[in-house]
Chains A and B, each alone.
Chain A
Amino acid sequence: MIDYIWLVPLLPAIGVLLNGFLGPRLGRGFVSWVACGVVLGAFVVSLGVWQSLLALPPDSRIVDHTVYDWITTDTVRVPIAFRVDPLSVTMILVVTGVGFLIHLYSTNYMWDDARFARYFTYLNLFTFAMLLLVLANNYLLMFVGWEGVGLCSYLLIGFYFDRWSAANAGKKAFIVNRVGDFGFLLGLFLIFWYTETLTFGTAREPGVFQRIGSVDHGIVMAIALLLLLGATGKSAQLPLYLWLPDAMEGPTPVSALIHAATMVTAGVYMIARSHAIYDLTPEVRNVVAAVGAVTAIFAALVAVVQNDIKRVLAYSTVSQLGYMFLGVGVGAYAAGIFHLVTHAFFKALLFLGAGSVMHSLAGQLDMRKMGGLAKYMPITAGTFAVGWLAICGIPPLAGFYSKDAILASTYANGNMLLYGIGLFTAGLTAFYMSRLFLTTFYGPERIELGDEHHGGHDAQAHDVDTSVTDAHAHEHGHAHDHGHGHDHAHDHGHGHAHPGHTHVHDDGSVHVHESSPVMTLPLVVLAIGSIVVGFILNGISGGFMPHEPTLLQSWLAPAIGEAAEHAAQGGMGEGMLIGLSVLAGVIGIAVAFFFHTQGWFYGAQRTPVGEVLDARFGYDGLLYAIFVRGGSALAQALWAFVDVVLIDGVVNGVGYLIAQISGALRLLQTGYVRSYALMMLLGAVLVIGWYLTRLG
């Protein structure tokens, strides 16, 4: 089955071609079946590959499968080849598995969008690029996938490009990622310069990882730092996290797939994949860990004061990615990947749940205008609760195992400051996620439907029965099968005609409906995943007993080596560590419940602390001032001086000079035959005179 690995990226590529060229003609049903079918097919093949890999002995679980010789010269040889090993198989299972559920969810979520086929073309293209990224057996092919997912991210963030903010957010993501890619590319140049290859390499065919050991230490550090810069761009870490919160302008399933579950974890994957480089430079690994820890607490603090449901989740994603960086930074690559996998499940679940809520509230994103939704949307609320508890680290849900693995490894690494930050962030995470959950699904009902302008095309509120507002809502031309043929709340008139609150009161004026089964089924599957995946990957006793690796760690060992994680020597025992991390989560939830019962989440006024947090400690403003304003001022100056004065001056000056000279010379051309004759005569006289004087 391993020989069929090429099918995994090929199937989504076929989906791209079919949906891209035929999709707009053949209709939504065709597009849905193709888009979901190819990803499901890739998932099935991935399962087969996984089983085949399991059948091999652990030592031989690294297989390079060459498809095509891409670049072959005397000095460079880069094949299109896929590496099948536990790490890449773990990644393709996540990408295709979670990806399929999100594709399925999208078929319903995007049904009313005019650019349905285009959406799924992009989504399949993304899946293709992501699979290329994780399957590549050399850095160049990885970079192709890396840029491919960046492109799809840009296209999908700016999917509602007729909205100014979405178009800008797409550009911002692309430009900020360029900074990271610049670092990644320089790292690749250095790797190639010093090891003369880009292939990862195996014991039999030495590549980068085998040759890097003989490279000068300073160079290896430079490579590791440059790769880290690339990773911080793609994975939205400080200092390049800026683009991810704005990326929420895209459709919500895109946020779930690209900006939570898969693409943004590429940086973590890349560092884990390059572990041979990072193992050589513990200094740079400490930088990775520090970047992760600082980003984790920074984003968690900012998330506390966000009111936009998707922005809370976006900052939460940044924070959780920080955890993964912390994990790989302390050498616990398996723990980082563990959190990557569990996070893919529960964060995709949370995003899709948020999408379900928005879908039912005509694109409303503001948590302050929700509340009490649990009784209208039991499935969404129930599955959301699972995701909430999972991210809070409540045992035995997925987030508990992976977060604990990272924290325990950090503790074992001996850096108490990082451990303290991680622990505090765990409590903070529990607090803001509880705030999100409680204000959205419980508490006083403050439901106010969104208008089209806020959620954009997300606002396809065909599940909202606004029978009372008939006078203001106008009939849609086409009735959806699940739309009950009623008026739609997201019509233009509604938001303006009803500026006041559309309260849900006892008179039953507004019913909020649960989303359709096509949307809730992925929620349920992801919720089950969020419950069991941590337990499954951890194994029964793994991680709890000292010196006993988790199941995932043993599985990944052939690919990323036996790192010295969980070697808790002295200090607190494992039980104590687990107790502390669970305690942090419980305290966070308890504080949030207290705030909730006191009604402090619903106050309109802001505290000074809240203002500082909402301004991201001035970081965004500072970067805006330096790069956007500064860049614009620099461009202005360059335009005014270099372009207008220098370049235009030279060009116009040359033109003016030539015009003047020819203006003078023009006068010689009188048009009179006799003046020409005179000049000929003068010329002849001069020539003869010169000869005469010379000879004479």
Chain B
Amino acid sequence: MIGVPLEYYLILSGILFTVGVVGVMIRKNPIVIFMCIELMLNAVNLTFIAFSHRWASFDGQILAFFVMTVAAAEVAVGLGIIVAIFRQRHSIDVDEVHLLKG
């Protein structure tokens, strides 16, 4: 295999995913949380593409397109919810949205 070895892709993907997870965990701003989620999704996309390339199969690339579609739909819904919450309480701090607290 010419060029970059598979391990590099996977390590990069793991770093990106971890960054995404930590971001979701520690940030309060839902916009940023969304961006982190996108980061995680794209980290997964990266592994799909890398394996697709490695095994010379198009399945991984097709799946990557699915993931992008779902991510777009999710962002549309998620941003809509955020707008609704903001209209309601003039804040989008996720820690202030805890009505489901038991």
Contact = CB atoms under 8 A, between A and B. Distances in A.
Interface string A292-321: 000000000000000000000000000000
Interface stretch (A136-144, A190-198, A417-425, A664-672): A664-672
A678 B102 contact: no
21 contacts: A667-B102, A668-B102, A669-B101, A669-B102, A670-B98, A670-B102, A671-B99, A671-B101, A671-B102, A672-B94, A672-B95, A673-B33, A673-B94, A673-B97, A674-B25, A674-B26, A674-B94, A677-B24, A677-B25, A678-B25, A681-B21
Contact of A671 (B24, B26, B33, B98): B98
A372 B34 CA distance: 113
Contacts of A670: 98, 101-102
Contacts of B94: 672-674
B1 interface: no
B25 A671 contact: no
A661 to B, nearest CB: 13
Contacts of A677: 24-25
Listed from nearest, the 7 A-B pairs whose CB atoms lie closest are A671-B98, A671-B101, A669-B102, A666-B102, A671-B100, A673-B94, A677-B24
Contact of B24 (A668, A669, A674): A674
Contacts of B97: 671, 673
Interface residues of B, number: 13
Contacts of A666: 102
A695 to B, nearest CB: 17
- Interface-central residue, A665, A668, A670, A674, by most chain B CB under 10 Å: A674
Interface in B44-60: none
Contacts of A672: 94-95, 98, 101
Interface in A623-670: 665-670
A319 B101 CA distance: 81
Contacts of B98: 670-672
B25 A669 contact: no
Nearest to B36: A677
Interface string B72-102: 0000000000000000000000110111111
A671 to B, nearest CB: 3
Interface of A: 665-674, 677-678, 681
Interface of B: 21, 24-26, 33, 94-95, 97-102
Contacts of A665: 102
A666 B100 CA distance: 11
A352 B95 CA distance: 92
A177 B100 CA distance: 64
B77 to A, nearest CB: 15
A681 B37 CA distance: 13
Given A672-B94, A673-B97, A681-B21, 9 more contacts: A666-B102, A668-B102, A669-B101, A670-B98, A670-B101, A671-B99, A671-B101, A672-B98, A677-B25
Nearest to B94: A673
A670 B79 CA distance: 23
Contact of B100 (A669, A674, A678, A681): A669
Contacts of B24: 674, 677
Contacts of B21: 681
Nearest to A676: B100
- Interface-central residue, B98, B101, B102, by most chain A CB under 10 Å: B102
A526 B98 CA distance: 93
Contacts of A671: 97-102
A674 B94 CA distance: 8
B87 to A, nearest CB: 19
A671 B21 CA distance: 19
Contacts of B101: 669-672
A22 to B, nearest CB: 66
A96 to B, nearest CB: 78
Contacts of A669: 100-102
A561 B101 CA distance: 89
Nearest to B24: A677
B38 to A, nearest CB: 15
Nearest to B30: A673
A670 to B, nearest CB: 6
B13 to A, nearest CB: 15
A670 B24 CA distance: 16
Contacts of B33: 673
Nearest to B26: A674
Contacts of B99: 671
Nearest to A672: B98
A640 B42 CA distance: 69
B89 to A, nearest CB: 14
Contacts of A673: 33, 94, 97
A673 to B, nearest CB: 5
B27 to A, nearest CB: 8
Nearest to B21: A681
A355 B50 CA distance: 114
A668 B26 CA distance: 19
A520 B81 CA distance: 97
Nearest to A684: B21
A668 B99 CA distance: 14
Contacts of A681: 21, 25
A490 B26 CA distance: 94
Nearest to A667: B102
Contacts of B102: 665-671
A666 B102 CA distance: 5
A77 to B, nearest CB: 66
Contacts of B25: 674, 677-678, 681
A192 to B, nearest CB: 63
Contacts of B95: 672, 674
A657 to B, nearest CB: 18
A667 B101 CA distance: 8
A648 B50 CA distance: 66
A673 B95 CA distance: 7
A330 to B, nearest CB: 84
Nearest to B98: A671
A669 B100 CA distance: 7
A561 B19 CA distance: 110
B16 to A, nearest CB: 15
A674 B23 CA distance: 10
Contacts of A667: 102
